[in-house]
C-alpha cells in the first residue's frame, strides 16, 4: 500500500504564538488598561535603570520636603506658642480691649465689664485676667523679664497648667508665684520656696509649670490681686474677662448680648480669638513672611531640581522614546510614562523626606522650640509634592512631543 502524497495544502501550519502583553505593539486598538500598565512598567524600568539620575531627582524631592516641612513645622510651633494661652483657658468667650488682635499686655478695660458679664443670661461664670510685663531680680545682679499672669482663685480659669512641682493652690498664699520650669536657671537657680524680688516685691516660689513659653518672656502666674500690685494696675482695671457659657446656651447669642452690654470692649469666641491671632501673625508680623518665604524657597528649589532631572532623563533617552513611538506609542502614552515616573519620585521623595524631618523635629524639640508636624501637614505635603513633580514632568513632555519615530532609523 502506497503512502498518501503530502501536498503543501495538506501540511498543518502551527498557529503563531501570541506575544506577552508587555511585548505587544501598542496599536491604537490596545485596551486602555493594557496601555497604562505597559507604560507604567516601562517608565519604572527606565527610572530605576539610571540609578544616578534617579538619585539626583530624589534628592531634589527630598530637599523640598525637608526644607518646606521644617520651616512650616517651626512656623506652626511658633503659632502654637502664640495661641497656646487661648487654647488652654477654660473660657468660651473673651472680653478684650476694642483693638485686640493677639494675646498680649495692652490697654486695660474696666472691671464693670466683669460685673455685666456675670449678670448676663446664659453666662455660667466670669473671671478677670491680668497680663503684663514684670522683672525678676537675679541674685548676682541684673534682672530677667517675665510675662505676669494674674488669675483668680479658686477657679484659676487663666492657669497655671502643666505643673511639674508645687501646687496651683499655692497662689492663695501671700506673695507667691508659679514660674516656668525650663527657665529656673535663667531666673537665678529657682527652687520651691526660693525668694526673689519681682518688680520690687519679695516673692516666694510656689511651684513650676512646664512648656508655658510664648514667643517672648515666659509666663509666671500670681493671684489676681497680687498681680495688680506688682503691675501697678488700678483695682477697677483688668486686661481681659474670661466667660464660661452655660450648657445648651447659644454661644453667638451670649456673645452678642455681652457686646451690647459692654460696647466699649470687643467680645470674641475662643475660635474667633485664635483666628485673629493667626491672621495677625500671617499678615502683620515678620514671622509669617520669613517662614513663608523659606518654605516657598524650598519648594522652588525642589521643583527646579526635579524638573531639570526629568528633562535631562528625557534628553538622554530620546532614542528609547523614539522606539516607543515607532511601535505604536502616542505622545499621550509617553505622557502616562512621565506621569508614573513623577508620581513615583514624589511618593519616594516624600516618604524619605518626612522620615528625615520627623527625626529632625524630635532632635530639636525643647520647651523653647517645637517643630509641630500635624497629620494635615503630612498629607498636604504628599499631595503638593505629587502636583509639583507632575508639573515638573510637563516640561519634559514638551520635548517628547517633538520626537519622531523615524529618528530610530537614522
What is the model's pLDDT at position 11?
47
Helix (H, G, I), strand (E, B) or coil at 249: coil
Residues 199-252 have pLDDT tens digits of 999 999 999 998 888 878 899 999 999 999 999 999 999 999 999 999 999 999
What is the model's pLDDT at position 404?
66
Backbone angles phi, psi at 390, to 5 degrees: -65, -40
Pairwise CA distance, residues 244 & 92, whole Å: 5
Q: Which candidate, 129, 100, 128, 99, places its Cα nearest to that of 116?
A: 128
Element (H, E) at 213: none
Q: Give the pairing type, strands 176-180 and 201-209.
A: parallel
What is the model's pLDDT at position 251?
95
Pairwise CA distance, residues 387 & 389, whole Å: 6
Give the DSSP per-residue string, 10-65. GSPPPPPPPPPGGGS---TTS-HHHHHHHHHHHHHHHHHHSHHHHHHHHHHHHHHH
What is the model's pLDDT at position 410?
58
pLDDT in tens, the chain (410 residues): 444 444 544 545 454 444 444 444 455 555 667 777 888 888 788 788 778 878 877 888 888 888 888 888 888 888 888 888 999 888 999 999 998 988 988 789 999 999 999 999 999 999 999 999 999 999 988 999 999 999 999 999 998 999 999 999 999 999 999 999 999 999 999 999 999 999 999 999 999 998 888 878 899 999 999 999 999 999 999 999 999 999 999 999 999 999 999 999 999 999 999 999 999 888 888 877 777 777 777 778 777 777 777 777 777 777 777 777 777 777 788 888 888 888 888 899 889 989 998 898 888 777 777 788 888 888 888 888 888 888 877 777 777 776 666 555 55
Q: Confirm if 146 and 105 have CB atoms less than 8 A apart.
A: no
Pairwise CA distance, residues 280 & 288, whole Å: 9
% of the chain residues with pLDDT over 70: 88
Which residues are bridge partners to 136 per DSSP? 144, 198
Pairwise CA distance, residues 323 & 329, whole Å: 9
What is the model's pLDDT at position 17?
40
405: DSSP letter: G
Element (H, E) at 1: none
pTM above 0.85, yes or no: no
Sign of the torsion angle spanned by Cα atoms 307, 310, 316, 322: negative
272 Cβ partners below 8 Å, 6+ apart?
Answer: none
Amino acid at each position: 500500500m502506497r503512502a498518501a502524497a503530502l501536498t503543501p495544502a495538506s501540511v498543518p501550519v502551527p498557529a503563531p504564538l501570541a506575544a506577552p502583553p508587555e511585548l505587544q505593539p501598542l496599536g491604537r486598538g490596545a485596551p486602555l488598561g493594557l496601555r497604562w500598565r505597559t507604560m507604567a512598567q516601562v517608565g519604572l524600568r527606565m527610572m530605576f535603570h539610571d540609578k544616578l539620575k534617579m538619585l539626583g531627582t530624589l534628592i531634589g524631592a527630598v530637599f523640598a520636603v525637608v526644607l518646606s516641612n521644617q520651616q512650616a513645622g517651626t512656623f506652626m510651633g511658633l503659632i502654637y506658642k502664640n495661641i497656646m494661652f487661648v487654647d488652654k483657658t477654660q473660657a468660651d468667650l473673651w472680653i478684650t480691649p476694642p483693638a485686640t488682635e493677639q494675646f498680649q499686655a495692652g490697654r486695660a478695660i474696666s472691671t464693670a465689664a466683669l460685673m455685666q458679664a456675670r449678670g448676663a443670661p446664659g453666662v455660667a461664670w466670669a473671671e478677670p485676667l491680668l497680663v503684663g510685663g514684670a522683672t525678676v531680680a537675679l541674685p548676682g545682679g541684673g534682672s530677667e523679664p517675665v510675662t505676669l499672669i494674674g488669675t483668680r482663685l479658686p477657679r484659676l480659669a487663666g492657669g497655671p497648667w502643666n505643673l511639674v512641682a508645687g501646687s496651683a493652690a499655692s497662689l492663695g498664699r501671700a506673695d507667691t508665684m508659679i514660674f516656668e520650669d525650663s527657665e529656673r536657671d535663667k531666673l537665678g537657680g529657682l527652687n520651691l520656696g526660693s525668694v526673689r524680688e519681682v518688680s520690687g516685691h519679695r516673692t516666694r516660689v510656689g511651684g513650676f509649670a512646664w512648656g508655658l513659653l510664648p514667643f517672648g518672656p515666659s509666663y509666671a502666674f500670681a493671684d489676681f490681686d497680687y498681680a495688680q500690685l506688682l503691675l501697678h494696675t488700678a483695682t477697677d482695671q483688668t486686661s481681659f474677662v474670661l466667660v464660661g457659657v452655660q450648657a445648651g446656651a447659644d454661644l453667638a447669642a451670649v456673645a452678642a448680648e455681652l457686646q451690647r452690654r459692654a460696647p466699649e470692649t470687643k467680645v470674641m469666641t475662643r475660635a474667633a480669638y485664635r483666628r485673629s491671632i493667626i491672621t495677625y501673625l500671617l499678615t502683620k508680623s515678620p514671622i509669617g513672611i520669613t517662614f513663608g518665604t523659606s518654605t516657598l524657597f524650598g519648594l522652588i528649589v525642589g521643583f527646579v531640581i526635579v524638573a531639570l532631572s526629568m528633562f535631562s532623563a528625557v534628553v538622554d533617552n530620546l532614542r528609547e522614546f523614539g522606539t516607543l513611538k515607532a511601535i505604536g506609542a502616542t505622545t499621550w502614552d509617553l505622557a502616562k510614562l512621565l506621569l508614573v515616573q513623577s508620581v513615583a519620585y514624589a511618593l519616594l521623595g516624600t516618604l524619605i523626606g518626612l522620615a528625615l524631618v520627623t527625626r529632625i523635629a524630635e532632635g530639636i524639640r525643647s520647651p523653647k522650640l517645637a517643630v509641630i508636624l500635624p497629620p494635615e501637614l503630612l498629607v498636604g505635603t504628599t499631595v503638593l509634592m505629587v502636583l509639583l513633580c507632575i508639573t515638573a514632568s510637563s516640561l519634559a513632555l514638551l520635548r517628547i512631543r517633538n520626537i519622531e519615530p523615524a529618528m530610530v532609523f537614522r
